[in-house]
Structure 1
Amino acid sequence: MTRTARLTVVTVLASCAAVYLLAAPSRTEGGIRLGAAVVVIVAACAVQLVWIVPGLARFRGPWAVALQGGLAYASVLASGTSVGLLGFVAGSLLLVSAWPAAIAVAGTAAVIEAGRSAGAAGTVDATITMVLTGLLVYGLVRLADRAADTAAARLPLTVAAVERERLRIAAELNEGLGRGLETIIEGSRRALDRPAEIGAVLEVARRSLADARTAAAAFRGLSLAPEAAAARALLAAAGIEAEIRTGHAEPLGPGGALLATVLREAVTDVVRQGTAARCVIETAEADGTVRLRVANDGEPTAARGADGLAEAAARVEAAGGAFATGLGPDGWFAVEAAAAAGDRPVNVPDRAAYWLSVTVLAAVLAGFCAKGLLQLEPGPGALAAATAVLPLVAALRLHRTGGAFRPRVWTLILTVQALLTFVPLLWFGAGWLGVPGFFAGTLLVVLPGRAGTPLVAAVLAGVAVAGGALSPDPARLVNYVISTLVTALVVYGLVRLARLVSDLQDAGAGLARAATVEERLRAARDLHDLLGHSLAAILLKCELARRLAVPDPDRARAELAEVVEMAGRARADLRTATGGDDPETSLDEEARSARSVLAAAGAEVVLDLGHGDLPAPASAVLGTVLREAVTNILRHSAARHCAIATVRREDGTVLLTVENDGLDPRAPRTPPGAGIGNLTTRLASFGGTLTARADGHGRFRLEATVTLDAGASPEAPAARISVSA
C-alpha cells in the first residue's frame, strides 16, 4: 500500500508539472529557449522526488530546497513560465517547516504576476494557483509519509497490544493464583511434620483450581470466535447445517463472556432438542453494544424453545443486557441477546491523516471555487448564482469522502453533481469549464476503474466539445481538457491517499486486536492445560495425604513432598500462562507424573514408552496432550485401569495413545470441552492429528500424533480432530 501511496503522489504531481510543460511553447519564444525552459521545469519538479522516494531521503534539506528554488525562479523569470511553478518550492518549504519562507515565495509570485498581468484578476488567479500547488505538494507528501509510518507501526502496535494484555493477565493471575500457590507450598512444607494439618492447604488448592478454571473460561469467553467454532463443530456432529455470520470486532469486553455463555447454551439446547435441520448464528456490533442471534428451524413453539435458557437470560439481564426468545415470521425460533462491548484493549487509531486529507481537499476546492469566480464574465446575477452553486459542488465532493460505495446514495450524488457541472455552462460559459474536473475526480474515487475510466474520458470529451464551442483558440481548448484531468487526479489522489492511510490504520488495529485475542486464548489454553492439571493433581495429592495422615503418616509425608514439587512446577506453569518462558515439559516427565497421579487416584497404570529420543518441541507438545488426557480421566471418569503407550512410526510420526476403562456407557453425550480444542491448536504446529472416541463398552481411547520433521510453524497444516462418544 505504501508503494501505491507514493505512486499516487508522483502521478498527481507529475500531472501538475505537465500543465507548465504544455504551456511552455506559448510562453517561450525560440527553440533553444524553449528547450532550456523544458529542461529547467522538469529539473525543478524532479527535485520534489527527494521528499517522495525513500531512497533519496538523504538529499532532503535546505540545499534541495535552494536548488529547486533556483531552478523554479530561473524558469519563471527567464522563460516566462507560470508563477504556479513556484508552488513546488513553497510546498518543499512547508515540508521543512519553513512556513515564513513559503509565505514569502507566495508574495514574490504575486509581485511577478502583477508585473505581467493587465489586471488584478489575473494576478489573484495566478497567485491562488501557486498557493494551491504548494498545498498539494505538502498535503500529498505528508499523506504518503503517514501511510508509510502507519504501515511500519503495525508490528509495534501489535507487539505493544500483546504486551499490555500480558501485563493485564499477569496482574490478574498473580494476585490470586500466585498467592494461592505460595500458600500451598508453605502449608505443605509445614504439614510435612504434622500431616493432619493439611486441611487448610486442601481448601486453598480447591479454591485455586476453581480460580484457574474460571479465569480460563473468562479469557476464552472474551472472544466469541472460539465459541462459534465449537458451536459449528457441535452442530455438524449432530447433523445440523450451521451458518455463522460475524459482524463484531474482537476482542470483546466482559460482555463477550456473557454472550459466549448464551451461545453455548442456545446451541446445546438446539442439539438436545434434535429437531432442527439448520441453525444460523449471527453477531453484530453498533454503538458499543454487541448483539447475538441464534436461530433454528426445529422449534414448533416459542415456549418449548425457551426451555433451559432461563438461567442464561437471568445472567444477561442482571448484567444490564437484553435477552429475548420467540418465533419469527419465517417460523424459525430465535434466541437474541445483547451486551455492552466494554473497554477494548486496542483502541481505534486516530484519524489525523484522514482529516489532513479532508482539510487539504477543502482548501483546494475553495481555491478552485475562487479561481472559477474570477474567470466568470460579469453579468446580472452571474456572480451571485456562481457563488451559490460552486460551494454546493464542492460540498458534494466532500460529502462521504471516506465512505464506502453505496449505489443508491452515490447515484443520487453523481446525478446532482453532473447536473451542477454541465447545466450552468449554458449561463456561465467558458468560465465554468474548470468545474468538470471535480465531477471527473468523483467518478475516479467512487466507481471501479472499468466503469470510472470510460466515464472520465466522456467528461473530458464533453469539456473538449464545450470548449470548442465556447472558444476557437486551440491552446485554450487543450488547457481546458488538461486542467480538467489534473483537477480530477488531484481530487482522486487526496481521497485515495486518505483511504489508504485509513485502511492501513484499520489493518494495524485489526492485527493488534487479533493478536490480543490470540494472547487471551493462549493464556486460557495454558491455564486449562498446564496449571489446571497441576492444581488438580495437587488437590488429589492433598486429599490423599489428609486421608493417610493418621493410618500411614510416612506415606502422607511422601505425598506432601510431591505436592511441594508439583506446586513448584505450577508456579512455572503460571509464568507461562502470563507470557513467560515456555514450560520445560517433556513426554517422559509427564508419563511419570501421570502414573503417580493416577495411582494416587486408585487406578492401575501401564506404561509402554517406545518413542525413543524426541526433539524437545515434539516431546513438550505430546507431554501436554498426556497431561490433558490424565486431567480428563480424573475429572470425567472412574477409571480403574489406564494404558499409556507411545510408538515411533517409520513414516516419521510419533503416536501417543491413552486408554482407560472409566467411561460410563449410559452417560449422556456432552459436547467436547475446551481441552480438546486446545490440544488441536497445539498439535496444528506439528501437522498433528487428534482422535478421541469411546468403544461403547466403557472404554475411552485418545490418540495423538506429531510429525517430527514438521516443526512448530504457523504455516503448518491445521490439526485434524475427531471426537465421538
Structure 2
Amino acid sequence: MLGPRLARLIVTVVLAAFACVYVLAAPFRTGDAPRAVGTVVVTVLLFVSLLAWVLPGAARFRGVALATAQALLACLDVLVFGTSVGILAFAAGPLLLASYALPAAAVLAGGVVVAVLRFPDAAAATDAAITPVLGALVVYGLVRLADRVADLAAARPALTMAAVAQERLRIATELNTGIGRGLDAITAGSRRALDDPAELDEVLRVARRSLADARAAAADFRSRSLAPEATAARALLAAAGIEAEVRTDHEEPLGSAGALLATVLREAVTAVVRQGTATRCAIETAERDGQVRLRVSNDGPPTAARGEEGLAAAAERVEAAGGTLTTGLGADGRFTVEATIAATPRPVSVPDPTAYGLSVTLLAVVVAGFCVKGLLHVPWDAGLPVAVLGMALLAVLQLRWTADAPPRHPYAVLAGQTLLSLVPVLWFGTAWLGAAGFLAGTFLVALPIRVGAPLVAAAMAATGAMTAALSQGPARIVNYTVSVLVTGLVVYGLVRLARLVRDLRAAGAELARAATVQERLRAARDLHDLLGHSLAAMLLKCELARRLAGADPARAEAELTEVVAMAERARADLRAASGAGEPELSLEIEAESARSVLTAAGVETRVDLGHGPLPAPSATVLSAVLREAVTNVLRHSAARHCAIVTTNEAGLVTLTVDNDGLDPRARREPPGSGIGNLTTRLAAVGGSLTARADGDGGFRLQARLRPDTVVDGVPNAG
C-alpha cells in the first residue's frame, strides 16, 4: 500500500541525510585519511543496520544482538575515529525501539561525558550533549510513526469487519426483540389454533404487528442513508421523462438526519413528478460545519409549493428536529425545496487516536531542543531575552503548520518565518544559523515539492554564504549548510508522517462508515424482500384459515400447518436479515409457495418452470425477485390472473411474472423500495430487471441473469 511505503521512504531519506552529515564532516574532523575512511565505513554500516528497524523485510534481524552491535559501532566511531557524539543517536534510537531504555540512557550519558571532555566551554559541551538526545528521539519517533502508518493501513479491513459485526449485532438485537418474538408467537399460536380456532384472532393480531414492524425496520434502515434515496429519486424522475442531475457531497451514514432528509427528498421528487411540467430536476447534498443540506430544484412552474400535504408534513418533522425547510424560486429562477438539519454524530472511529498527537509532541520537543542549542551560544549581554522571544515565536510558527488546517494567511506566515529565520543572523551570528533548517522544513511542508525544493536549496546556499561571511572555516560551512537540509527533512518527516497517520485514520473511518451503510441497506433489502413476503403470506394464510374454520375445518388446518412451516422459514429469513446467516432459496419451492399464496388470495395462477438446475446463488436471487413480484401482485393490484414463467436460452435464465391487475386509469405513484432492492441484487450478480405496464391493464416484471457467471453471489470475472 502507498501509505506504508511512503512512510518508510521518508524515514529512510531522513536517516540517510543524518548519516551524510557525519560522512561529509569526516575529512575535516579527523585530519588524516585512514581515520576519515574509518568514519565513513562505520557510519555507513550504522545507517545500513538501522534500516533493519525500518524495512519490514529485515525484521528478522531486529533484537538485542543488532542493538548491541549498533551501540559498539557508534562507540567505535566516536572514541576511535573522533566522530561527533551525535552519531550515538544511531545506537540509542534502536535501543529505545527495542525497549531497552536503561542501555539507551547509558549510551547517551556516555555522550555527555565525551562532550564535556572534548569541549571545555560549557555552552559548546551542552550543545554537543543535546545533539544525540534529539537524534535518538528523531530516530525513535520516525520509525514508530512509520510503524503506526503500517498498522493503521493493515487495520482498515479488520476495522471494517468490526464495524459490520457491530452493526449486525445491533440489527440482530433489534430484530430479535420485536420481529423474532412475533414469529415465535405466530408459530405457537398457529399450533394452538389447530385445536382451538379462537386462537386465530391473536395470531392475526401478532402477524399484522410483525409485518408492520418488518416494514418499518426496513424503511428505517434504508432511510438512514440519503444516497440510496437519491438513486431511487433519479430512477423515478427518469421514468417520468425528467432529466435528473444528482450531486452528493456528504458523509454516510447520516442516521436520523438522513431519515428526515430522505423523507423531504421523496416528497419533493414526488411533487415534481405529479406536477408533470418539469423537464429537468437537480438534487444536491452538502455537509458543512456540522450541518447537512439537501436542495431539490426543477424548471417547472412553481405550483408544487410547501402547501403539498406530504411536503408540509416533512417540513414539520424537520423543524421539530431543529432544522429548516424552505420552498420558492431560487436565484436561477428554478423552483427549489431546500432543507438543512444538524448532522447526527457518527459512532464509527479508528483506534489509536494518539498517533497524531505523538508526532506533534515529538516535533515540539525536537524544535525546542534545536532552539535551546542555538540559544546556548547567545550571551546575556548580546540580547538573550530578545533571542529567546524570537526563538519562541519561530517555534510557534513552525508548529502552526502541523495543525489540521493551514494558517489563515499562509503566505504572510511563511514570509514572517523567512524574515525571522534569516535577518537575526545579523545580530546573533552563528547562534541563529540553525533557524534556517526549520524554514527549510516549512518550505517542504507548506509548498508543492516543485516550489519547496528550490527554496530549500536557496536556504542552504544562503546559510553557507552567511557562515562564510561570519569568517567560519570550511568544516563549519559544510556542517551548517548540510544541517539546513537535515533539519528540514526531520521537520518534513515528522509532519508528513503525522498527516499520513491522520489521513489513514480518516480513510479507515470512512471505509468503516461505508461498510456500515452497506450492511444496513443489505438488512433493509432482506427484511423487505424475504421476511416481508413471508409475513405477508402468513397473514394471508391466517385470514383464510379463519374464514374456513367453520366451513372447511380440514382446509383450515392445512393452511395453519403451512403457516407453521412458513414461520420456520421466516426464522431463517430473519437470521439472514440480521447477518447471522446467508439466505439460500429454492426457485421451485418459491414458485409453489407463490402459487399457494396467490391462489389463497383468489388469483388464478399458472406456473411454468423451464430454467433447469440452477446454482444456489442464482436460485436465491431469482427467488427473491419472485417473492417481491408476488408481494406486489397482492398489495398493489386487483389481479385475477398471474403467470410465472422461467426459461433458459443459451445460458440466459429469464424469470417473467405477468398479472392483469393494473388499472390504467390510476394515478401514477412513486415506486416502493422493492424494485430498487431487486435491481441492486441483480446488478450485483451481473443481471438486469425490468418492470413496466403494458398499457392494457397488465404488468410484467422480468429478471435476467447468466448463472454460469455467478459464484457465491458475485459475478465471476474468470
Identify the match of residue 316 of structure 1 among 309, 315, 318. Answer: 318
Runs (5+) with no aligned partner, structure 2: none
Whole-Å separation in 1 of the counterparts to 2:455 and 2:370: 22
Q: Give the Å deviation of 1:138.
A: 1.0
Structure 2 equivalent of residue 356 of structure 1: 358
Cα distance change, pair 120–341 in 1 and its aligned pair in 2 (3 A): same
Q: Matches of 1:715 and 1:445 in 2, distance apart?
A: 44
Q: Which residue of the other structure, out of 162, 165, 177, is the alignment partner of 2:164?
A: 162
Instruction: Give me the whole-angstrom Cα distance separating, in 2, the residues matched to 1:143 and 1:542.
Output: 64
Q: Deviations over 1:39-80 (max 9, x none)?
A: 112222332222212222233222222111111011101111
Q: Which residue in 1 is equivalent to 2:703?
A: 704
- Residue identity matched to 2:568: G
1:517: how far off?
Answer: 0.8
Correspondence 1:451 to 2:430? no
- 1:277, distance to aligned residue in structure 2 (A): 4.5
SS in 2 for 1:309: helix
| SS class of match (1:580) | coil
Distance 2:198 2:555 in 1: 12
* Partner in structure 2 of residue 574 of structure 1: 574
CA distance in 1, matches of 2:600, 2:127: 93
TM-score (norm 1): 0.94
Establish whether residue 247 from structure 1 lines up as the match of residue 246 from structure 2.
no
Partner of 2:386: 385
For 2:119, the equivalent position in structure 1 comes to: 117
- 8 Å CA contact 1:661–1:698 kept in 2: the answer is yes
Per the alignment, residue 669 of structure 1 pairs with 668
Give distance in 2, aligned partners of 1:498 and 1:379. 37
Contact conserved, 2:609 with 2:646, CA < 8 A, in 1?
Answer: yes
Deviation, structure 1 residue 613: 1.1
- Determine the structure 2 residue equivalent to 1:659: 658
- Conserved in 1, the CA contact under 8 Å of 2:297 and 2:335? yes
C-alpha distance in structure 1 between counterparts of 2:557 and 2:498, whole Å? 70
1:72 partner letter: A
CA distance in 2 between partners of 1:383 and 1:337 (Å): 59
Check if 1:562 corresponds to 2:562. yes
Partner residue of 2:67? 65
Tell me the residue number matched to 2:614. 614
Greater shift in the superposed pair: 343-352 or 68-77: 343-352
| Alignment partner, residue 510 of structure 1 | 510
**Structure 1 residues 299 and 115, CA gap change in structure 2 (3 angstroms):** farther
1:642 Cα shift? 0.8
Residue in structure 2 matched with residue 234 of structure 1 by the alignment: 236
Q: Which residue does the alignment assign to 1:522?
A: 522
Residue aligning to 1:461: 461
Query: 2:529·2:624 contact (CA, 8 Å) conserved in 1?
Result: yes
Q: How many residues are treated as equivalent by the alignment?
A: 715
Alignment correspondent of 2:487: 487
The superposition leaves residues 495-543 of structure 1 with CA deviations (integer Å, 9 ceiling, x where unpaired) of: 1111111111112111111111111111100000000000111111111
Cα gap change, 1:517 to 1:664, in 2 (>3 Å): same
Q: Using the alignment, how far apart are the partners of 2:523 and 2:257 within structure 1?
A: 19
Counterpart of 2:15 in structure 1 is 13
1:7-406 pair list within 5 angstroms: 7-285=9-287, 289-298=291-300, 300=302, 308-347=310-349, 349-376=351-378, 378=379, 382-404=383-405
The residue identity in structure 2 corresponding to 1:132 is L
Contact 2:444 2:492 (8 Å CA) reproduced: yes
**Counterpart Cα distance in 2 of 1:567 and 1:108:** 78
Identify the residue that residue 584 of structure 2 maps to in structure 1: 584
Cα distance between partner residues in 1 of 2:608 and 2:487 = 78
Identity of paired residues, percent? 65
Letter in 1 for 2:25: A
Query: Is contact 1:301–1:327 with CA below 8 Å preserved after alignment?
Result: no
Offset from partner CA, 1:263-299 (integer Å, 9 cap, x none): 2112222332344454443334456553433344445
One-letter code aligned to 2:570: A
1:636-690 CA-to-partner distances (Å, cap 9, x unmatched) read 111111111111111x211111111111111122223211111122112321011
Alpha-carbon deviation of 1:576?
Answer: 0.6
Q: Closer, same or farther in 2 for the Cα pair 1:348/1:328, shift >3 Å?
A: farther
The CA distance in 2 between the partners of 1:598 and 1:627, in whole Å, is: 11
1:722 alignment counterpart: none
Q: 1:432 Cα shift?
A: 2.4
Q: Work out the CA distance in 1 between the residues paired with 2:423 and 2:36.
A: 39
- Which piece of structure 1 moves more, 443-452 or 466-475? 466-475
CA separation in 2, counterparts of 1:251 and 1:701?
A: 35
Q: Is the 8 A contact 1:402 1:495 kept in 2?
A: no
Deviation per CA, 1:115-160, whole angstroms, max 9, x where unpaired? 1114111111111211110110111111011111111211111111
Deviation at 1:318, TM superposition (A): 3.2
Q: Do the aligned residues in 2 keep the contact of 1:326 with 1:334 (CA within 8 Å)?
A: yes
Checking the alignment, whether the CA contact within 8 Å between 2:159 and 2:350 is kept in structure 1 is no
Whole-angstrom distance in 1 between the partners of 2:551 and 2:80: 111
* TM superposition shift of 1:438: 1.3
Cα shift readout 1:355-377 (whole Å, capped 9, x = no counterpart): 1110111111111111222344x
After superposition, what is the alpha-carbon deviation per residue over 1:533-586, rounded to whole angstroms, capped at 9, x for unaligned? 001111111111112222222221111111111111111101111112222301
- What CA distance in whole angstroms lies between the structure 2 residues aligned with 1:642 and 1:391? 83
User: CA 1:238–1:392 in 2, change beyond 3 Å: closer, same or farther?
Assistant: farther
Which residue does the alignment assign to 1:723?
Answer: none
What displacement does 1:717 show? 9.8
Whichever residue aligns with residue 706 of structure 1, its letter is L
Contact 1:693 1:702 in 2 (8 A): yes
Residue 428 of structure 1 is matched in structure 2 by: 428
> Given the superposition, is the C-alpha separation of residues 288 and 404 from structure 1 closer, same or farther in structure 2, using an over 3 Å criterion?
closer
CA distance in 2, matches of 1:361, 1:498: 10
Task: Specify the alignment match of 2:680 in structure 1.
Answer: 681
**1:228, 1:244 within 8 Å by CA — same for their partners in 2?**
yes
